[in-house]
Chains A and B, each alone.
Chain A
Amino acid sequence: MGQGGLFSVTQIASSGLAAERLRMEVAANNIANANSTRTADGTPYRRQQVVFSAAMQKAMGKSIDGDNLTGVTIDGVQDDMSELPKLYSPGHPHADADGFVTMPNVKLPHEMVDMMTAARAYEANLKSLQVFRNMTEQSLSLLKGS
């Protein structure tokens, strides 16, 4: 993996940590905008979601070994194109001619579950980082003369 080598576990785990952190940020942004009926382009806010993919430098015909495990990559943040709910509220400044306001398609339970899975996955990545550190310390302790 080029820059990996001895400490490649650190890089794999930190790719996981970064990915889960972004997921958490996106979920928080969705919750913050749960009632934003207007964005810069004039449309209601659309829920965003992160897209991940396994980063693996897999050359054709080459078997998988420790060198081409590179954790997770963030493919990007995409809009959730599911239907936007309408709410009848004639007094609202963003209401249409029939008195309906188009609301963002953010669902609170969905975001909560997303945040919980992100937090658990973050912990798991952190744990493997700790275990790696212990293992490295043990290897290094072999160098200590007794």
Chain B
Amino acid sequence: MSPLDAQSGLLSQLMDASALRQQVVTHNLANLNTPGYQRLEATFEDQFQKALAGAGDVSRADGIKAKVVASKDAATRSDGNNVDLDREVGELQRTAMMFQTYTKLLEARLGMMRRAMDSR
């Protein structure tokens, strides 16, 4: 359980997962020209979706972490590498945007708490 409330806990979990995805994308980009390299992928959305399906509070997603798996769906080039530059850059931007969303939400949440504590 996060030291904060369940919602902030969920948001920080999502931030962790996005940060890991960013790391994985960076790793793929660093190996853009490595022969035989197969791209990796961080997955977490489906796990969160499964845990949070239905009613109830969000603490059910506690302990979920992003998984790093080898990606098989991309076309392999003749040098055995399947990293696609455009795809990775797109993924990079998307991850950054999601991360920003989570940060802003957490910021709003913390602001609410701060205002409650100030109680002015």
Contacts and interface: CB of A to CB of B under 8 A. Distances in A.
Contact of B88 (A20, A69, A118, A124): A124
B20 interface: yes
B26 A13 contact: yes
Interface in B22-48: 22-27, 29-35, 37, 40
Interface string A105-140: 000000000000110110011011101101100110
A120 B33 CA distance: 11
Name, among B29, B30, B67, B88, the residue most crowded by chain A CB atoms within 10 Å (CB to CB). B30
B19 interface: yes
B33 A12 contact: no
Contacts of A66: 20, 23-24, 68
A95 interface: no
Given A127-B92, A128-B92, A146-B114, A12 B23 contact: yes
A16 B32 contact: yes
B33 A54 contact: no
Given A141-B103, A141-B107, A121 B29 contact: yes
A131 B30 contact: no
A8 to B, nearest CB: 6
Interface residues of B, number: 38
B111 interface: yes
B74 interface: no
Given A9-B26, A124-B88, A145-B114, A135 B34 contact: no
Given A13-B26, A117-B33, A127-B89, A142 B106 contact: yes
Name, among B18, B19, B67, B106, the residue most crowded by chain A CB atoms within 10 Å (CB to CB). B19
Nearest to A17: B30
- Ranked 9 nearest A-B pairs via Cβ: A16-B30, A71-B30, A69-B27, A52-B34, A64-B68, A128-B26, A138-B103, A121-B32, A72-B30
Interface of A: 8-9, 12-13, 15-16, 19-20, 23, 52-54, 63-66, 69-72, 117-118, 120-121, 124-125, 127-129, 131-132, 134-135, 138-139, 141-142, 145-146
